[in-house]
Amino acid sequence: MAIQQVHHADTSSSKVLGQLRGKRVLITGTTGFLGKVVLERLIRAVPDIGAIYLLIRGNKRHPDARSRFLEEIATSSVFDRLREADSEGFDAFLEERIHCVTGEVTEAGFGIGQEDYRKLATELDAVINSAASVNFREELDKALAINTLCLRNIAGMVDLNPKLAVLQVSTCYVNGMNSGQVTESVIKPAGEAVPRSPDGFYEIEELVRLLQDKIEDVQARYSGKVLERKLVDLGIREANRYGWSDTYTFTKWLGEQLLMKALNGRTLTILRPSIIESALEEPAPGWIEGVKVADAIILAYAREKVTLFPGKRSGIIDVIPVDLVANSIILSLAEALGEPGRRRIYQCCSGGGNPISLGEFIDHLMAESKANYAAYDHLFYRQPSKPFLAVNRALFDLVISGVRLPLSLTDRVLKLLGNSRDLKMLRNLDTTQSLATIFGFYTAPDYIFRNDELMALANRMGEVDKGLFPVDARLIDWELYLRKIHLAGLNRYALKERKVYSLKTARQRKKAA
């Protein structure tokens, strides 16, 4: 039984469906948020796709990819709509056209053996690489392995199959500390110079060797938790040196350069999303998995841990729903397969076409929390009583340092006296500082991301594909999305039910046991 196309009445003139019909696509990173949505969109919106291969690392509970897929990915609520519409067809699709490969993106040849690696490469038409470490403060060796060096495995497949189309999921924030209008082009480092090739990309081999030498030096001198901390510090320091705020964006930029050189003259699309958040419509309004960049701030406010935050109220916070990103991936992949042999860069973002300022973002959040906090029982434990203020960095640092010193002294005195009255305030201050350290760069932007090339691609593909695979951020009504769709999605999908047991309930449970 086949999965039914559910989205659009007349799909016969869809260029996307025509290009993807019968194609065999490998996806990495399907244990992640975006990867799951891309997989769901392909199964439901491109029912004639030939086959989907999934590279999945085994774990202790599920050592092989197939069992991990069936137990940890296929059971996700992202597939609820497919199951409800056609359960038998969905199960048949998984059985017949989902091929799971047990492997590791960071190991040579994915760790699957040379013959299987060669066979896999020659069977495919395209690769969507969405595997990444999105930890902004990752240890440098790990970030380099996952976000940069593993792309040699992707390039190696193209050496074996030159017709292979590669789509690399990057991030708009490879822009680093550059300011102004950010176009869909190769990004120049804002810090120390890196040599540039006449073909446009940057030559990173020497830089990577230098980073590896520094990693080895740190590994030779430290061990355990101290080593981890030193590798995190090294990553931040090197990122800052070359013009990035964190290790994640620095190593993603390095990955772009590696692929552009290795696949020069071949079929490569780099797709850069901004801050990916819950779905606008597909597979369900508000669908999300886990807590994302903006949500850490929302959660800290909802739990009354943060009242001050370093940010520019007038600055554009570039948020994009996950389904628009998944659609951009599918749209640009279809183009790459239809017109091979070129390098393309697209940005999926909202700042250029439908901007929302940090001030508006906060105001919508506060308005909804005041009016309807009880509707979000997993998010708000009670109506927040404190305001949420964005202030410039200098003022924030002044306030935090001014409050922290007396509080630290108070903390020590109270501990001696056996009183912990002010410890909660100190912990909240630590939360504020941690969030500010990690996310402060993203909430005081000095840049605006453009996506004119992506919009031009959508226009070239035509009206049918615009309906099937919308990518335009101008579709977003920010007040509706933030207040009703996103908060509801966070509450329903991302946050666990709060366990509140009274003493009486606990005793009843004990008796029953």
pLDDT at 59 over 90: no
**Per-residue pLDDT averaged across 284-295, rounded?**
86
For residues 87-113, give the mean pLDDT.
94
pLDDT for 340 equals 96
- 11-289+318-355+447-476 under CATH 3.40.50.720, yes or no: yes
Find the mean pLDDT for residues 461-479.
96
The DSSP result for 407-461, as a single string, is HHHHHHHHHHHT--TTHHHHHHHHHHHHHHHHHHHHHS--EEE--HHHHHHHHHH
Q: Percent of the chain beyond pLDDT 90?
A: 70
Give the residue-averaged pLDDT of 195-223.
Answer: 97
Confidence of residue 506 (pLDDT cuts 50, 70, 90): very low
pLDDT of residue 402: 53
Please determine, for residue 507, whether its predicted confidence score (pLDDT) is greater than 90: no
Given a cut of 90, whether residue 428 has pLDDT beyond it is no
pLDDT of residue 383: 85
Provide mean pLDDT across the span 313-325: 93
The residue-averaged pLDDT of 65-89 equals 94
Per-residue confidence (pLDDT) for residue 408, from 0 to 100? 42
Q: Which residue has the tokens 């992640």?
A: 32
Average pLDDT over residues 373-398: 80
Position 503 scores a pLDDT of 38
Q: Stretch 371-393: mean pLDDT, rounded?
A: 83
Structure confidence at residue 300 (pLDDT)? 73
Q: What is the mean pLDDT of residues 492-510?
A: 53
Rounded distance, CA 406 to CA 425, Å? 12
- Chain segment 231-277, per-residue pLDDT in tens: 999 999 999 999 999 999 999 999 999 999 999 999 999 999 999 99
| The pLDDT of residue 440 | 61
Q: Three-state DSSP class for 295?
A: helix
Query: Per-residue b/e over 57-95, b at no fewer than 16 CB within 10 Å?
Result: beeeebeebbbbbeeebbebebbebbeeebeebbeebbe
Average pLDDT, the chain: 87
Tell me how long the chain is.
Answer: 513
What does each C-alpha distance from 257 to 19, 252, 346 come to in angstroms? 28, 9, 15
Q: Is the pLDDT of residue 290 over 60?
A: yes
Residue carrying structure tokens 């189309």: 165
What is the model's pLDDT at position 4?
45
Regarding predicted confidence, which is higher, 439 or 142? 142
In one letter, which amino acid is 212?
A: Q
What is the band of 419 on the pLDDT scale with cuts at 50, 70, 90? very low
| Local confidence band at 425 (pLDDT 50, 70, 90 cut-offs) | very low
Cβ contacts of 106 within 8 Å, gap of 6 or more = 145, 146, 149, 150
Is residue 344 over pLDDT 50? yes
> pLDDT > 70: what percent of the chain?
84
Among 88, 123, 68, CA closest to 4:
88
How high is the pLDDT of residue 439?
Answer: 61
Per-residue pLDDT for 10 more than 70?
no
Task: Determine which of 174-178, 315-319, 354-358, 413-417 has the lowest per-residue pLDDT on average.
Answer: 413-417
C-alpha 41/C-alpha 331 separation (Å) is 11
d(CA 162, CA 121): 10
User: Alpha carbon of 374 to those of 34, 185, 268, 368, 387: distances in Å?
Assistant: 29, 45, 48, 10, 18
Average pLDDT over residues 304-315: 76
Whole-Å CA distances, 49 to 53, 100, 102, 478, 480: 11, 16, 22, 34, 34
pLDDT (0 to 100) of residue 163: 96
Across the range 162-189, mean pLDDT stands at 96
Tokens 């909802």, residue located? 302
**pLDDT at residue 436, as a whole number:** 56
